[in-house]
Structure 1
Amino acid sequence: MVPEKPVPPTEYDYLIVGGGAAGLSLAYHISQEPALASKRVLVLEPEAKTQNDRTWSFWADEPLLFDGIVAHEWEQLAFRSPQFERVFSLRRHRYKMIRGLDFYQFVHAALARSPQVTCLQASVTDLAEVEGVGVRSTTAAGEFTARYAFDSRPPELNEARQPRKHRYLLQHFVGWEVETDEDAFDPATVEFMDFRGAQHHEARFIYVLPFSRRKALVEYTLFSAEVLPKAEYEAEIRRYLHEQLGVGTFRIEAEEVGAIPMTDHPLAARAGNHIINLGTRAGRAKPSTGYAFKRIQAHSARLVAGLAATGHPPQDLTGDQWQFHLFDTLLLDIMQRQGERTRDIFTELFQRNPVERIFDFLDERTSWKENFQIMNSVTPWPFLRSIGHVVRGRPGAR
């Protein structure tokens, strides 16, 4: 006789809604904190993560919990535009990539070994605070209660949009993992931004992660309000391979397609005293770049430190600083009204600053002096116009 699958309990300390990068990261961080070993955790995920549905890339100058599953890392980074090209040697930082499937398998294996964590495949249809209890979630598998819930479902912005007040763009892309018949790539160098293609009044560039001389992930990426027909991304990838790299024939080994919201619309860090937001729902995708993985890890570490020290999430859930939110808003405003100027701005940044300072700035770790050095390195007029738009409370328009 096959033993029946154990029925999960209905009461927990922590409920995590969503088993993507943000939800699984928090669950893993909790499982690694000895002070929280007695806490019971339920992870609710509507779909099994069995495919390599994405990759996460980031730069880092200190160890992360997931360094053991880094698929590749690079010591050099290239920036290219019609006015300026340079290959930078990274000193403090390394540029790294983690495959989604490796992450899912690693975290699920770790959580399966943890007696405190239960993972259940179920969609949450309702999540509400309950006085004296904390929170209650309703799913097809039943109702579950917990002291705190951490919600990583994507934010619902369509009905909440305020285009007369905030800026709404997407970072959207199509990427091919390709294999060529001849050497075409420098495996030591990430092509971080190649702006040499036509901009069409938007910010458009090629991004390349080389795995060997003949294998690489090649992405065509845009910052704009609307996605393109898929054939247009594919045509630009082919053009890059043929015209810039001289590649004759190649094979597509895998594909990834994505669209990341980039907005200054306020994304609350919490939905109540006992419901804490995670991931893009909490604004962890940086509004001006779309990078999220390392910000998610910092957020998870901050939440776990608070829970371990006091039994409650920290009062300041994210540690975000207002000045960096302003910088993001200004760049989004420029992208929205004159997207093609983005190429000039990034050209000036890389031409006039050490790459380590740029990385620290994008990580929101720079001092006021370094922020001044960054802002002083770019042409001021586009930013001054955007400051005017911010003061008036109205986004700029072309």
Structure 2
Amino acid sequence: MSLAAAAVLEYDYLIVGGGAAGLSLAYHIAQEPRLADKKVLLIEPEAKTQNDRTWSVWADEPGVFDGIVAHEWRKIAFRSPGFERVIDLGRYRYKTINGLDYYRFVHQALAENPQFTLVQAQVTNLKNTKRIGTRAVTSAGEFTARYAFDSRPPNLTQLRQPDKHRYLLQHFVGWEIETEADVFDPTTVEFMDFRGEQQHEARFIYVLPFTARKALVEYTLFSETVLPKAEYEAAIREYLNNTLGLKSYRITAEEVGAIPMTDHPLPARVGQHIVNLGTRGGRAKPSTGYAFKRIQQHSARLVAALATTGHPPADTTGDKWQFKLFDTLLLDIMQRRGESTRDIFRQLFERNPVERIFRFLDEQTSWADNLRVMNSVAPGPFMRSIGQVLRGRPGQRQ
């Protein structure tokens, strides 16, 4: 991978952004022999030198980035008042990848590939052109390409239409801690611990135990606005002190994030030659916030079409309308009565095998299994949200 000079240069593909989505597409292109003659420009505003996030996935088959998985688990725990269960994942595994490991791995692969060029710059304008395809105006000059793939975060503040769509966040603060005694079960992810006060929202503790003495402990909410940081930290301390009985521990790292969860239509492409990636292209699952696996599937779909036809697929995502509706209904419930989310997830985990839940969240279930999932939860909240959808108005808390 080379560094480009600030000039008007022409490439086959231009990738804007070097986060999860941009690097995923670059890596998939690098692994496709049929695209070995394509020149690819990756534009990233800043070097990725920090472990700024982790990504977790459940999977029942090998993944592209299994070689850098930091840890994997065979069991998850779900906990809420009146119902707790530790669930064996069967053929599934729950896996976590550290951001810095991911950045280094992909950049190393690209550095060894002469078809890739890296520019560290801000993109100020990206548009379709008649003659070439796309043109990017950046702080390092102008660049043209046949196709551009844009992974910059969408500006939902400007796009908001609260009378038509639902806008929530999955927001969290996490501490990676170390203890002096064995505290955690390193075989089991605390997937959702809803036993704390909900405060009219969906609030839970999430724990990734790496060893008996080391874990990432997060306080996570589904709601419209973020909290003062001290409130997340107080909830984590409450869990560590009162649930786990910890008197002393050492905080070794911190993770803070806010993932958009919305049914606002995020376009899969802009014009003929610009394809949106990541959150900008709707790859964060609206009802859960999980994105990493969806990003990999999107990258594979795009690269397969580019290698076969020379063009992105007409349907760039392959999303199915019924799952968009399911997401909208759950978002509406979260917006109207966020505390009822706990009961919905409790019913899901109490009345369905985990394989069905994972397939449903991966949007891979049949109509028969979709009906089984919907019949496993109380119909009242969903019927009210169906009414809101039919009226074309998001539900509001009364």
TM-score by length of 1: 0.98
Report the 3-state secondary structure (helix = DSSP H, G, I; strand = E; otherwise coil) of the residue aligned with 1:305.
Answer: helix
Shift of 1:62: 1.1
Q: Deviations over 1:31-90 (max 9, x none)?
A: 000000000000000010000000000101111110100000000000000021000011
Q: Which residue number in structure 1 is paired with residue 386 of structure 2? A: 387
Distance 1:141 1:204 in 2: 44
| Aligned residues: CA RMSD | 1.1
CA contact (8 A) 1:33 1:308 kept: yes
The one-letter amino acid of 2:175's match is W
Task: Report SS of the residue matched to 1:95.
Answer: strand
SS state at 2:127 partner: strand
- Which residue matches 2:306? 307
Q: Alpha-carbon deviation of 1:7?
A: 3.3
For 1:175, give the aligned amino acid: G
Counterpart position of 1:249: 248
Aligned ranges 1:250-289 → 2 under 5 Å: 250-289=249-288
Taking the aligned partners of 2:185 and 2:171, their CA distance within structure 1 comes to 25
SS in 2 for 1:101: helix
Partner of 1:69: 68
Instruction: Give the residue type in structure 2 aligned to 1:313.
Output: P
* Cα distance between partner residues in 1 of 2:63 and 2:73: 16
Query: For the residues of structure 2 that align with 1:238 and 1:285, how far apart are their CA atoms?
Result: 29
- Cross-structure match for 1:326: 325
- Following TM superposition, by how much is the alpha carbon of 1:141 offset from its aligned partner in structure 2, in angstroms? 1.1
Residues 118-169 of structure 1, C-alpha deviations (whole Å, 9 max, x = no match) = 1110111111111020000011211100000000000111121100110000
Would you say 1:79 and 2:78 are equivalent positions?
A: yes
Distance change in 2, residues 1:6/1:123 (3 Å):
closer
Within a 5 Å distance, the mapping from 1:353-368 to structure 2 comes to 353-368=352-367
1:8, distance to aligned residue in structure 2 (A):
7.2
**Aligned match of 1:207:** 206
The one-letter code sitting in structure 1 at the alignment partner of 2:132 is V
1:33 aligns with 2:32: yes
Q: Structure 1 residue 194 and structure 2 residue 209: aligned?
A: no
In 2: Cα distance, 1:329 partner to 1:299 partner: 21
The one-letter amino acid of 2:20's match is A
- Alignment CA distance shift 1:355-1:6 (3 Å): closer
Letter in 2 for 1:7: A
Whole-Å Cα distance in 2 between the matches of residues 133 and 24 of structure 1?
24
2:91 maps to which residue? 92
SS in 2 for 1:338: helix
Are 2:144 and 1:126 aligned? no
Could you tell me how far apart the structure 2 residues matched to 1:16 and 1:8 are?
16
**Distance (whole Å) between structure 2 residues aligned to residue 330 and residue 158 of structure 1:** 22
Tell me if 1:7 matches 2:5: yes
CA distance in 2, matches of 1:342, 1:221: 13
- How many Å separate the matches in 2 of 1:187 and 1:91? 17
CA distance in 2, matches of 1:278, 1:46: 16
- Does the CA contact (< 8 Å) of 1:83 and 1:347 recur in 2? no
Aligned length: 395
The residue correspondences of 1:73-222 to structure 2 (distance < 5 A) are: 73-222=72-221
Structure 1 CA distance, aligned partners of 2:3 and 2:202?
52
SS state of the match for residue 276, structure 1?
Answer: strand
Who is 2:43 aligned against? 44
SS of the residue 1:163 aligns to = coil
Cα deviation code 1:305-331 (max 9, x no counterpart): 000000000111000000000000000
**CA distances 1:215-242 after superposition (whole Å, capped 9, x unpaired):** 0000000000010010000000010011
Provide the C-alpha distance between the structure 1 equivalents of 2:307 and 2:159, rounded to a whole number of angstroms. 35
- Contact conserved, 1:80 with 1:194, CA < 8 A, in 2? yes
Q: In the alignment, is the contact (CA less than 8 A) between 2:48 and 2:103 conserved in 1?
A: yes
Which residue pairs with 2:20 in the alignment?
21
Residue 144 of structure 2 aligns with an amino acid whose one-letter code is: T
Unmatched runs of 5 consecutive residues or more in structure 1: none
Residues 203 and 335 of structure 1 are in contact (CA less than 8 Å); yes or no, is this contact kept in structure 2? yes
Tell me the distance in 2 between the aligned counterparts of 1:164 and 1:20: 32
Contact 2:170 2:223 in 1 (8 A): yes
How many angstroms apart in 2 are the aligned matches of 1:83 and 1:341? 15
Give the whole-Å Cα distance in 2 for the aligned partners of 1:47 and 1:40.
Answer: 22
Partners of 1:83 and 1:348 lie apart in 2 by 11
Is the contact between residue 57 and residue 97 of structure 1 (CA under 8 Å) also seen in structure 2?
Answer: yes
Contact 1:8 1:118 survives alignment (8 Å): no
Instruction: Compute the displacement of 1:12 (Å).
Output: 0.2
Contact 1:15–1:149 (8 Å) recurs in 2: yes
Checking the alignment, whether the CA contact within 8 Å between 2:3 and 2:118 is kept in structure 1 is: no
Contact 2:4–2:119 (Cα < 8 Å) also in 1: no
Partner in structure 2 of residue 238 of structure 1: 237
Residues 1:45 and 1:225: Cα distance change in structure 2 (over 3 Å)? same
**Any gaps of 5 or more consecutive residues in structure 2?**
none
DSSP-derived class of the 1:254 partner: strand
Q: Deviations over 1:266-310 (max 9, x none)?
A: 000001100000000000000000000000000000000000000
- Point out 4+ residue stretches in structure 1 off by more than 4 angstroms: none
- Once residues 100 and 139 of structure 2 are traced to their aligned partners in structure 1, the CA distance between those partners, rounded to angstroms, is 26
Partners of 1:259 and 1:302 in 2: how far apart? 27
